[in-house]
Amino acid sequence: MLAIVCPGQGSQTPGFLTPWLELDGMAGLLDEWSTATGVDLTAHGTVSDEATIKDTAVAQPLIVAGGLLSARALGVEALEPRTWVAAGHSVGEITAAALAGVLPGAEALEFVRIRATGMAAAAAAEPTGMSAVLGGDPAEVSAAIEAHGLVAANANGGGQTVAAGSLGALAALAEQPPAKARVVPLKVAGAFHTPYMAPAVPDLAAYADGLRPADPAVALLSNRDGQAVASGREAVDRLVDQVTRPVRWDLCMESLRGAGVTGILELLPGGTLAGLAKRALKGTPTLAVKSPEDLDAARAFIAEHAVAAA
């Protein structure tokens, strides 16, 4: 059984789409998506600098577009549904929903554009951020985050929890970290997956209400609880709720273990989720797609692991 996982915000780097646009059809597809969303994904994926693509309104559509491009290059849409499971971290859950057939690519990108615009505005309203807490006793980490008035916005497994809230509280946590833990600020613009993002919900919910999502064609895991989502409507509703709810990637990985997954393939821009899996799912092979040079290895990886569970 293969797991295809899709990364979240912070995984983007300047120019990461440049080599992909040399592949047949990819430049035209990205131009089509740029026109549909009003976001110049081609420029942001090739020439925009780090500060520009750090902007939430740019970063989120760019990451989803990257994941969908790499999936298209790998022919993911042709895989037998019983042979794989889809999951995505934060905004990557939108990529995963598109791969599972819940939303067409253009609708997924419009969904993420509205999400990103709303979250960027919410982040600008008050100085907030996120920091990874690495190591430490989980109970002590949780207690320290709560004591500083912060929210455990991402439970990522593998000894990593992401705290979110005011910049002052994050600085105080870094000055007094839990025992045997270190606090690393993340390159994001706000306290995502917390009540600070509530202003982003109404416009996204209004757009979601007008969609006619299909039921997932493959098992699609939810960030809320790590469980497979039964219907397309539930999947979309959970994507809306996810804006203000913590991401339980630890539970997603537990579900991958329980499903008998034998290999984890992370789509573009890959690396982060494969790293978490190496720590939390020791012994499970992983492959992160970072450039077109990884495509042959990724195809071989898919052929090896995309097999229906007994």
> Which amino acid type is present at position 164?
A
**Taking a C-beta distance cutoff of 8 angstroms, is the pair 58, 44 a contact?**
yes
**Taking a C-beta distance cutoff of 8 angstroms, is the pair 12, 53 a contact?**
yes
3-state DSSP assignment of residue 151: strand
Catalytic annotation, residues? 90, 193
pLDDT at 127: 93
Q: Identify the residue whose tokens are 């939108």.
A: 94
In terms of Cβ atoms closer than 10 Å to its own Cβ (0-12, 13-18, 19+), residue 116 is buried
Residue 84 φ/ψ, nearest 5 degrees: -150, 160
pTM over 0.85: yes
Kindly report the number of other CB atoms within 10 A of residue 262's CB atom.
15
CA distance 37 to 30: 11
CA distance 243 to 241: 5
Structure confidence by residue, pLDDT tens digits, 60-108: 999 999 999 999 999 999 999 999 999 999 999 999 999 999 999 999 9
Q: Which residues pair with residue 288 across a beta bridge?
A: 266
Q: What is the CATH number of domain 2-124+194-305?
A: 3.40.366.10
pLDDT at 38: 87
Beta strands in 77-191 (DSSP E): 84-88, 128-135, 151-157, 160-166, 181-185
Structure confidence by residue, pLDDT tens digits, 213-243: 999 999 999 999 999 999 999 999 999 999 9
Domain boundaries, the chain: 2-124+194-305, 128-185
- The first and second tokens of residue 45, run together, are 């994926």
Instruction: Give the H/E segment covering residue 28.
Output: helix 26-37
pLDDT at 187: 77
- The first and second tokens of residue 210, run together, are 């007008």
Closest of 66, 76, 61, 72 to residue 25, by C-alpha: 72
- The first and second tokens of residue 224, run together, are 């809320």
CA distance 246 to 216: 22
CA distance 207 to 110: 9
With a cut of 70, which residues of the chain have pLDDT below it? 310
CA distance 248 to 295: 29
pLDDT at 40: 96
Beta strands in the chain (DSSP E): 2-6, 84-88, 128-135, 151-157, 160-166, 181-185, 219-220, 263-266, 286-288
pLDDT at 47: 97
DSSP string over 239-258: HHHTTTS-B-HHHHHHHHHH
Q: Which residues pair with residue 220 across a beta bridge?
A: 86
pLDDT at 310: 63
CA distance 134 to 245: 21
pLDDT at 37: 83
> Which amino acid type is present at position 217?
A
**Taking a C-beta distance cutoff of 8 angstroms, is the pair 115, 60 a contact?**
yes
Which CATH topology does 128-185 take? Alpha-Beta Plaits (3.30.70)
Structure confidence by residue, pLDDT tens digits, 25-35: 999 999 999 98
